[in-house]
Amino acid sequence: MSDQPSSDIQRIFLDGKEIILVGTAHISQDSVDTVRRVIEEESPDTVCVELDFQRRQALKDQSRWENLNLIQVIRNGQAPFLLANLALASFQKRMGLHTGVKPGAELAAAADEAENRGMRVELVDREIRTTLLRAWRKTGLWKKLNLVSTLVASLFETQKLDEEELARLRQSDTLSAMLEEMGQLLPSVKTILVDERDLYMAHHIRNAPGKRIVAVVGAAHLPGIVRQLPEDVPSELMAEISTIPEKPRMSKVLPWIIPAVVVALFVAGFFLGDRERIAGAALAWVLANGLLSALGAIVALGHPLTVATAFVAAPITSLNPTVGAGMVTGLVQAFIASPTVRDLERVGDDLVSWKGWWGNRMTRVLLVFVFSSLGSAAGTIVAFGWLKNLL
């Protein structure tokens, strides 16, 4: 069987099993054709695919956005994770536009081909949510800010790719490309973003049922998987890399420290400082939080009532760690300017440009959530400049 330009095929015999590894590019038509041909020719017992359940459902259900309950997402505190999913979808969508192939098409083709032939399908990739949260919770605040700012900026890049860059993209996969970019920004968590996934997939491929296994994975993961396959991974290690770490203690305590310090400053100012300054400090707190949060809602093109809500809610929510300004403004925006069916149908296409993010009512709700939250946080920092004068 001859190798194709954008695919690498390796055959490994291990513990009485024959494992055919197919390294692919997620934006290559050649990879789509290759995986179909390999499955047909090899007729395996099981086909392993570099997908988790969520990504598999996303590839199968093209209308998934139409069933999204945005208000419920915000109420459940899942807006940041939805935004991260949209950012990933945006990255992959833009890469696919440059190459003419839908991202992940070869993975969908592998799973569909296997199912159509009555073969067992194993989804062997770790949940992307687990991967991202492991990386997020194992890195410091400054590096988190650096990472977020870089990735947000990359969402709105519009430069055209040259032929050399297009060739590189065809030889890799876009999810790995994004995670590798994160690994370069945060070398300390490269192990989580890349190496742990190689180990995770190798373990599940090795233990897949059947004597002949075809495993379809991104070409970028092939060397790591080949290296890990002969190793019998301890169950303790597999359990550890499959688990979302607890939030750092400081991240649990910090949201309570800020309102406690604010209240303490007002109390201390009342008993120990100049009482005439208390009214001015309270006004400064309201204006700093309210105005900057409202400004964030304006930047997100929120409805005027949403902007007014941001101004009223931010000074209060800043003192309540259980409810953020973004949660309140996001819900108001979702009620007042509810996404239409057309918005939900077009969200996949609108992700590729900054105009689409602001023009689509669904993504605009998320932008209101983010920018009003950032405005409120900035307002809290600014207000401390006045509160310290209470003493």
pTM listed for this prediction: 0.71
- Residue-wise pLDDT tens digits, 40-57: 999 999 999 999 988 888
Burial of 129 (0-12, 13-18, 19+ CB in 10 A): middle
Per-residue pLDDT tens digits for 285-318? 889 999 999 999 999 999 999 999 999 999 988 8
Higher pLDDT, 364 or 247: 364
Q: What is the pLDDT of residues 68-94, one digit of tens each?
A: 667 777 777 777 767 766 766 665 565
10 Å CB burial of residue 385 (0-12, 13-18, 19+) is: exposed
- DSSP codes joined into one string, 150-214: HHHHHHT--PPP-HHHHHHHHTS-HHHHHHHHHHHH-GGGHIIIIIHHHHHHHHHHHT-SSSEEE
- What distance in Å separates the CA atoms of residue 334 and residue 203, rounded to the nearest whole number? 43
CB distance 107 to 49 below 8 Å: yes
pLDDT confidence bin for 152, thresholds 50/70/90: low
Tell me what the mean pLDDT of segment 265-278 comes to.
66
Domain residue spans in the chain? 8-241, 249-390
Q: Which helix (H) or strand (E) holds 241?
A: helix 235-241
- What's the confidence (pLDDT) of residue 359? 85
* pLDDT value for 5: 40
* Strand 8-14, strand 17-24: pairing: antiparallel
Ramachandran assignment for 3, one of left (phi > 0), alpha (psi -120 to 50 degrees), beta (any other): beta
> What average pLDDT does the chain have?
79
- Taking the CB of residue 145, how many other CB atoms lie within 10 A of it? 10
Q: Which amino acid is present at 36?
A: R
What are the φ/ψ torsions at residue 123 (nearest 5 degrees)?
Answer: -90, 110
32 vs 150: which has the higher pLDDT: 32
Query: Structure tokens of 128?
Result: 């992307």
Displacement of CA 283 from its chain's centroid (Å): 38
Q: What is the average per-residue pLDDT within 237-266?
A: 79
- Over residues 120-128, the mean pLDDT reads 94
**Does residue 248 sit in helix, strand or coil?**
coil
- The per-residue pLDDT for range 165-214, each reduced to its tens digit, is 544 544 555 555 555 655 666 666 778 878 899 999 999 999 999 999 99
Q: What is the predicted pLDDT for the residue at 7? A: 47
Q: Which helix (H) or strand (E) holds 122?
A: strand 120-123
How far is 258 from 177, CA to CA, in rounded Å? 38
Instruction: Decide which of 201 and 25 is more confident.
Output: 201
Quote the percentage of the chain above a pLDDT of 90: 31
382 pLDDT band, cuts 50/70/90, is confident
Residues in a beta bridge with 215: 21, 48
Residue 91 has a pLDDT of 59
Rounded CA-CA distance 304/298 in Å is 8
Q: Give the closest residue to 308 by CA, choosing from 291, 324, 322, 327.
A: 291
The DSSP symbol for 388 reads G
**pLDDT attached to residue 72:** 75
Q: Are 244 and 137 in contact (CB under 8 A)?
A: yes
